[in-house]
């Protein structure tokens, strides 16, 4: 049995995640995912929209994922590969070269990311929508204030 292991935050689960997990699952018989804990994310300066527990539940419901476990630090990958007897360590190509030191215990593969979709871009777009909406509300509020002032003269 060929075991594949990967890691990530998997926040705001989207089609890019699905496509990556599908491609990762095709590399072996089992796909095991190390999911960044909330504490680990905080140490990286990241805040997930969904909690670790919620993100784990989402991942566990994905048909391509066999098992999910918590990632607490950068250093645990080597021990996890040994513990889960992983044959392949795979990540998105935005991490290319960063984990080549694991080649001595398993095959390291970097897969292309799904173009035009990322959690960072989704969060950015959502924050712009919120800012635009706030600007619209503020403009409307100023118009209402002007009307009220004109009526009270």
Question: Per-residue pLDDT tens for 98-117?
Answer: 999 999 999 999 998 766 66
Catalytic residue among 44, 47, 98, 128: 44
The verdict on whether 44 is a catalytic residue reads yes
More confident residue, 21 or 125: 21
Residue 53 has pLDDT above 80, yes or no: yes
More confident residue, 102 or 150: 102
Residue 58: CB partners within 8 Å, gap ≥ 6? Answer: 10, 13, 50
- The pLDDT score that the predictor gives to residue 35 is 98
Share of the chain above pLDDT 70, in %: 79
Catalytic residue among 2, 22, 30, 46: 46
For Cα atoms 67, 7, 92, give the angle at the middle one, nearest 5 degrees: 125
Closest alpha carbon to 91 in 111, 66, 74, 115: 111
More confident residue, 151 or 38: 38
- Tens-digit pLDDT profile for residues 70-87: 999 999 999 999 999 999
Hey, what CATH topology would domain 3-111 get?
Answer: Rossmann fold (3.40.50)
- The pLDDT score that the predictor gives to residue 117 is 60
The verdict on whether 2 is a catalytic residue reads no
């Amino acid at each position: 049995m060929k075991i594949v292991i990967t890691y990530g935050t998997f926040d705001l689960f989207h089609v890019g995640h699905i496509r990556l997990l599908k491609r990762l699952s095709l590399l072996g018989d089992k796909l095991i995912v190390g999911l960044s804990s909330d504490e680990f994310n905080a140490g990286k300066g990241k805040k997930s929209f969904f909690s670790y527990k919620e993100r784990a539940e989402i991942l566990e419901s994905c048909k391509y994922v066999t098992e999910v476990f918590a990632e607490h630090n950068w250093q645990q990958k080597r021990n996890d590969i040994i513990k889960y007897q992983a044959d392949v360590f795979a990540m998105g190509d935005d991490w290319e070269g960063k984990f080549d030191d694991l080649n001595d215990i398993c095959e390291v593969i970097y897969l292309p990311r799904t173009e035009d979709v990322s959690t960072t871009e989704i969060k950015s777009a959502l924050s712009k929508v919120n800012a635009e909406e706030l600007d619209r509300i503020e403009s409307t509020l100023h118009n209402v204030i002007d009307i009220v002032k004109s009526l009270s003269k």
